[in-house]
Structure 1
């Protein structure tokens, strides 16, 4: 059995001609079901609205990259234990990368980064 041929972004974007409805649009199920019978496409993804989407070879990776970036930033700003990227190992790397001794680990200790939230700010953020 032959593998499915790799489609370029331009090939994928020809699906706009099918006029699939977004899932949240009224009547999308009925219209998309009818279109999918002859095209194989079931819905119009919100990701196709991104300007760079057609140039990406593996388009689904962008979703994972954005998710991972958000989680790393969020966990670091909230200083989530075991999840933050501001840790002794990263601070050791700063000795080679950065000439800011106030950020270096000294005797196993280091100061919290200025962008981490204090307890009151964390509660305010989470409670809304």
Structure 2
């Protein structure tokens, strides 16, 4: 993304890159500047409307001054109440299953507590590698 200034207006130019999915941003236009609540603060963001050609979709994206994405919403995407209800039901079911598994296997809670304590004591630079090495003896392979 490149920010260009012309005639005291700020424009955003989105550069297309070929990917395996072959999505292509068809066009973009400025939505201007607005105030947006980000966490406990209200910050000034600039907006861009993007159109994706392959899938008829229109997106409103708002960026912070440093270029980080603050908000993105798809326009014209109605929320299906039945699908949302199924999602929430499944989410509750999975959370109950996970809680039940933890109650049935107290050794898992002890193992994770030991790992976190060891992690905090050692403070490794590469946490992923450290976790891999820590849990390797517990692997079934």
Q: TM-score range by the shorter chain?
A: under 0.3
TM-score (norm 2): 0.19
More helix by share: 1
More strand by share: 2
